[in-house]
Structure 1
Amino acid sequence: MEISENAEEILEKLWICSQERGQNFIELESLNLDKESPEVLELLDMDNIDLNSDSKITLKHEGYFNAKNVVRRHRLAERLLVDVLDKKEGVHKSACEFEHILHDGVDDKVCVLLGHPRTCPHGNPIPKGECCKKGEKEVSSIVQPLSELKLNQKGKIAYFEIQDNEKLQKLMSMGILPGMPVTLVQSYPSYVFDLDQTRYAVDKEMADYIFVRVENK
């Protein structure tokens, strides 16, 4: 049975609270909902959540997997919008609208296209799908940190795996953006690379943050 968009939003919030913030429940009042709200009744009927007498909701076994998939689709949608469609403004809202079409294996196809990214543009982890588990060996040779490229190896910036917003802004202010062609020309004492006819140098920490979809081994 397909879950409504409003119900999926509840699952997404429950996942973030339980898996990323260490909270086991959400109070209905904080969601501006009550026990008779359609999306709450829907999730109860589908055995996705548990609702106690204090109006606190928690994820059940089935809800855990559905919530994981909702979060995965949303964060993949954000990566797609930023990395491929070059959308920088209003990414979260657009991803909320876009994530609902990434069903029935479409999310895995997008994940493969993006090189199985580990984090969304905001640095939050993207839950792994089956495609990630099957493709881990292949991905290690296709998408690599800049620090692991061989000299003169070429590729395109795939994504940044970084949660420090200040460091992320530093990379972007330098003009280093997903989708741009890159060639590593030096790896010691700093990592020097050519990007769009400009040469840059970064330390290993920064080079570890920049993931590249390589074109040749």
Structure 2
Amino acid sequence: MAENKNISENIEEYLEVLYRNGSNGEQVSTTTLSKDLGIAPGSVTQMLKKLEDLGYIKYTPYKGAVLTHEGMKIAQKITRKHRILEKFLLDVLKVKEENVHEQACEMEHTLSDEAERALCTMLRHPDLCPDNHIIPACNFDFGSCQECFSQKDFDQIMNRKFNLLSVSELTSSTEGTVSFIRGSSELLDEITDLNIKVGSHLTYEYNDNRIGNYYLVTIDDEELNISLEMANNIFIRI
């Protein structure tokens, strides 16, 4: 069954900012956190020590913090809810664009996993929020959105035990196993036609492998150019 852990809103905000600035394992400085959160550096340092004690980050004094596996899981979850809510508020409820971010911030902490899943289905598995930032993958244990859609009973859904990043989120040379493909059956068919599937081994060489809106990746020893849309929706286990 999908889990329901109670994490304070303050902790979620910190982890969300850490994820926004360091989703691929980058170290985020105290100065960056202080600026983004509008909180004094001394207070940020105290919270970072607390987050490290909780096992959510690895903190190095005078350098910054990196999300742990558990911290990344929470950060992706709250970031996903925020960005899906932004999409819903703007596209469906027609809330003014300048008000969308603040209202999503207020709603993200109380949106249930079940409601998040329903919003995702209604919005047809969106990959980008209104600011064109990637919406992280859900943490449900499915290989595709079609598998999710076929499971009608939410209480039977299990959580994934590992974290994912889309190809387009990678900011360093990375390799991993394709573990989730998001999107419509049409997009899934296009990806399958390239012989990319759940279980494929993917390698991405950062800097050298971005050509315009295409990404050069190696899938099971075969080099392929994939579109930005595919890169947004192919997720590897990290």
TM-score range, shorter chain: 0.5 to 0.7
After TM superposition, the structure 1 = structure 2 runs for residues 38-53 of structure 1, keeping only pairs within 5 Å, are: 39-53=47-61
Contact residue 58 and residue 67 of structure 2 kept, 8 A:
yes
Question: Which of 74, 88, 95 lines up with 1:66 in the alignment?
Answer: 74
Please, which of 122, 135, 155 is the counterpart of residue 113 of structure 1?
A: 122
Q: Distance in 1 between matches of 2:68 and 2:129?
A: 25
Could you give the per-residue CA deviations for residues 176-213 of structure 1, whole angstroms, max 9, x where no partner exists?
A: xxxxxxxxxxxxxxxxxxxxxxxxxxxxxxxx9xxxxx
Q: Secondary structure at the match of 1:58?
A: strand
> Cα offset for 1:131?
7.8
Measured at CA, do residues 4 and 119 of structure 1 come closer, stay the same or move farther in structure 2, by a change above 3 Å?
A: same
2:125 aligned counterpart, secondary structure = coil
1:15 is aligned to 19
- Paired residue secondary structure (2:65): strand
Structure 2 unaligned blocks of 5 or more:
35-39, 150-182, 189-228, 230-238
- Greater Rg over alpha carbons, structure: 1
Q: 1:140 is aligned with what amino acid?
A: S
Give the Cα–Cα distance (whole angstroms) in 2 for the partners of residues 122 and 36 of structure 1. Answer: 26
Counterpart in the other structure of 1:124: 133
**What's the offset of the Cα at 1:28?**
1.9
CA distance in 2, matches of 1:42, 1:101: 23
| Structure 1 residues 143 and 95, CA gap change in structure 2 (3 angstroms) | farther
Cα distance in 1 for partners of 2:20, 2:62 equals 21
How many pairs are equivalent? Answer: 143
**Residues 37-46 or 59-68, more deviating:** 37-46
TM-score of the two chains, using structure 1 as the length reference? 0.56
Q: Counterpart amino acid of 1:97?
A: E
In the alignment, structure 1 segments of 5+ residues that lack a partner are 145-207, 209-217
- Report the more deviating stretch, 121-130 or 40-49: 40-49
Quote how far apart the aligned CAs of 1:107 are: 1.4
Sort the Cα spacing of 1:132 and 1:84 in 2 relative to 1 into closer, same or farther, 3 A.
farther
Partner of 2:106: 97
Q: 1:2 aligns with which of 6, 10, 22?
A: 6
Separation of aligned partners in 2, 1:132 and 1:95: 26
- Match 2:65 to one of 27, 32, 57: 57
Query: What is residue 145 of structure 2 aligned with on the other side?
Result: 135
TM-score normalized by the length of structure 2: 0.52
Check whether the contact 1:27–1:57 (CA below 8 A) recurs between aligned residues.
yes
Identity rate, percent: 32
